[in-house]
């Protein structure tokens, strides 16, 4: 399309670059293993419903990357309410996501496009 880097709806290039829903599900699975190994964020995730988290984060990334999914989880502000997620923690999760994408041979440009879209959620996630 004429505006491949900024168009959201109707452009599935990023979704393809992430390996479609199955590729995204694998990235999120690898991210989960990385989260529990990362002392900066692991304590926050203690006792979560892993299956629900996996399904909902996969659907969310699928949808925001232009894929044919609908996120049915809770609003980001509601989910992260009372967690007091810090900047350091947000960046730690982003770093683990980058490593998980790297592990799954996602191109640097696709990585950066996804991160750009997730950064838009930053105000809804931190300091809640």
Binding site, by residue number, is 80
- Select the span of 8-16, 17-25, 89-97, 104-112 touching ligand HEM (CB under 6 A): 89-97
How far is the C-alpha of 124 from the C-alpha of 91, rounded, in Å? 14
Structure tokens at 82: 């009372």
4 or 36, CB closer to ligand HEM? 36
Closest by Cα among 47, 50, 48, 76 to 61 = 76
Instruction: Scan for tokens 């989960």, then name that residue.
Output: 32
84 or 107, CB closer to ligand HEM? 84
Question: Is 36 among the residues that bind ligand HEM (CB under 6 A)?
Answer: no
Annotated binding site for heme: 80
Question: Is 15 among the residues that bind ligand HEM (CB under 6 A)?
Answer: no
Question: Is 98 among the residues that bind ligand HEM (CB under 6 A)?
Answer: no
Question: Is 18 among the residues that bind ligand HEM (CB under 6 A)?
Answer: no
């Amino acid at each position: 399309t004429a505006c491949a880097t900024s168009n959201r709806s109707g452009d599935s290039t990023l979704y393809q670059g992430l390996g479609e829903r199955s590729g995204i599900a694998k990235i999120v699975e690898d991210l989960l293993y990385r989260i529990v190994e990362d002392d900066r964020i692991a304590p926050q995730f203690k006792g979560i419903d892993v299956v629900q988290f996996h399904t909902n984060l996969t659907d969310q990334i699928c949808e925001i990357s232009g894929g044919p999914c609908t996120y049915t989880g809770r609003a980001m502000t509601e989910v992260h309410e009372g967690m007091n997620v810090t900047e350091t923690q947000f960046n730690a999760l982003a770093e683990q996501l980058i490593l998980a994408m790297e592990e799954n041979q996602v191109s640097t440009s696709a990585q950066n496009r996804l991160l750009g879209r997730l950064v838009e959620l930053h105000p809804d996630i931190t300091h809640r």
